Amino acid sequence: METNPLFETLNPPQRILMGPGPINAYPRVHQAISSALIGQYDPVMTGYMNQVQTLYRGVFETQNQQTFLIDGTARSGIEAVLVSVLQPGDKVLIPVIGRFGHLLCEIAQRIGAVIRTIDIEWGEVCPPEKVEAAIREFQPKMLATVQGDTSTTMNQPLAEFGEICQRYGVLFYCDATASIAGNDLKVDEWHLDAVSAGLQKCLGGPSGSAPVTLSERCVEVINRRKHVEAGIRTDQHQDGEDAPILSNYFDLAMIMDYWGPERLNHHTEATSMLYAARECARIYLEEGGDRVIARHKQAGQAMATGLSAMGLKLFGNQQYKMNNVVGVYIPQQADGDKVRQELLNRFGIEIGTSFGPLHGKIWRIGTMGYNARQECVLMTLAALEAVLLKAGVPVAPGQAVAAAMDIFGA
């Protein structure tokens, strides 16, 4: 009798995910996710919530009290920050270095903010002089940036932006989803007021939880919009003087009270994702942030060196390349999608395509989290070389793996 596929046990293939994210989660994260569910106000659970806050202060390199998780994919963290800070008519300055800069614009636009962009050619980053000039002229409430924009593989330097924002009294937000835990990110030292992230890149978890951190001055701005919903509101709750936040789910004023001593009954915490986020942070801090970032840098450099040794051309200004992902031009003789399919079908290796102006022009190859290690880099290079040679693309045989091995050393 034929079995109905609807009732078959889930059995996804074992893939090696070498794209721009998601990537394979650390095995310990899978174990953590399968831990027992408990009630959200169980003291054990609220204890885990407190631990998660402490762990992510370590990951973000911040003292910010308000450091917690938004339940949702990375874009939920972005949306929560933007909708909670920006009111309709507020001005926001956005350097657009790739697709995710456009995403910030899209979200800010829906909020009704007034947007000024600094449009940067894909493959480059935004110089601080441009930001300062635009801030002087436009006088925004917020500068909203993306650190690692996976669409272009560039890593936007942020240190100088923070100092400029301090001088002009502008709130400084960054989407660090793709860069956190693989590239330096110093929230307090760089004067960042709000940062949001995701688990599915260098933190080595599944997507579905967005760690965020907020500075004191950002918290003050948000709390001026405080409005506790009916049904859980008490006489003690007072509305802030500014207009309420235009989203209930992403109302950071309420969410902060949910994570704080009041334990305001906002949403039901996504327990399994909290377990995952806790384990990702624990792995990162146990290994040591500097070491994890150095591991990403080495794996990324080995991948880029191997691709070049094969004779392929790298995309973008290499001075600003993210440690954890590299863009590489698809050789003229190759069918980009067919090569990716062959890698997946014959080797179980996934690499990334690209979008916007780069669609069909480059592949994006990641080395992140659990996959920022030698075996993954060497297997991917060997497999790509074999697929390209079989397709008749003239690459230098035998060079890529050897060059990458040199980067990893003896």
Ligand X SMILES: Cc1ncc(COP(=O)(O)O)c(C=O)c1O
Binding-site residue numbers for substrate are 364
Contacting range for ligand X; rule: CB under 6 A; set: 114-122, 137-145, 172-180, 323-331: 172-180
Strand order in the sheet with 66-71: 66-71, 209-214, 194-196, 171-175, 142-146, 91-96, 114-119
- Separation between Cα atoms, residue 59 and residue 204, nearest integer Å: 13
Preceding peptide of 22 cis, ω within 30°: yes
- Contact residue for ligand X among 26, 60, 100, 172 (CB under 6 A): 100
323 near ligand X (CB under 6 A):
no
Q: Rounded to the nearest whole angstrom, what is the least distance from the CB of residue 118 to ligand X in the complex?
A: 17
Should residue 175 be labelled a site residue for ligand X when binding is judged by CB under 6 A? yes
Contact between 198 and ligand X (CB under 6 A)? yes
Closest by alpha carbon to 108, among 123, 95, 126, 124? Answer: 95
Which range touches ligand X (CB under 6 A), out of 38-46, 170-178, 322-330, 352-360?
A: 170-178
**What angle do helix axes 271-287 and 43-60 make, rounded to 10 degrees?**
40
Return the bridge partners of 114, or none. Answer: 91
# chain residues binding ligand X, by CB under 6 A: 13
Judged by CB under 6 A, which of 79, 90, 149, 184 binds ligand X?
149
Q: How far is the CB of 20 from ligand X (least distance, A)?
A: 6
Q: Which residues contact 311 (CB under 8 A, 6 or more apart)?
A: 394, 395, 396, 399
Residues 150, 153, 371, 380: which binds ligand X (CB under 6 A)?
150
Binding segment (CB under 6 A) for ligand X, from list 56-64, 175-183, 267-275, 357-365: 175-183
**Per-residue CA distances from 131 to 114, 190, 321 (Å):** 16, 15, 20
Binding mask 104-143 for ligand X (x = CB under 6 A): ----------------------------------------
Q: Between residues 74 and 299, which has the closer beta carbon with respect to ligand X? A: 74
Report the nearest approach of ligand X to the CB of residue 78 (Å): 6
Out of 24, 62, 87, 177, which residue is the one contacting ligand X (CB under 6 A)?
Answer: 177
CA distance 176 to 194: 10
Torsion sign, CA atoms 256, 286, 75, 88 = positive
CA gap 42, 49 in Å, rounded: 11
Min separation Cβ 68 and ligand X, Å: 17
Residue 109's CB: how many other CB atoms inside 10 A?
Answer: 12
Determine which residue in the list 153, 207, 213, 301 makes contact with ligand X, applying CB under 6 A: 207
Distance CA 195, CA 103 (A): 15
Rule CB under 6 A: is residue 146 a binding residue for ligand X?
Answer: yes
- What part of residues 58-77 is at the interface with ligand X (CB under 6 A)? 73-75
Report the distance separating Cα 39 and Cα 320, nearest Å.
45
Q: Rule CB under 6 A: is residue 24 a binding residue for ligand X? A: no
Q: Do 101 and 108 touch, CB atoms closer than 8 A?
A: no
Quick one: 178 or 393, whose CB is closer to ligand X?
178
Bridge pairing between strands 362-366 and 325-329 = antiparallel
Distance CA 40, CA 371 (A): 33
* Minimum distance from residue 408 beta carbon to ligand X (Å): 26
Q: Answer yes or no whether residue 327 interacts with ligand X by CB under 6 A.
A: no
Q: Is 296 among the residues that bind ligand X (CB under 6 A)?
A: no
Q: Which residues make up the interface to ligand X (CB under 6 A)?
A: 21, 73-75, 100, 146, 149-150, 175, 177-178, 198, 207
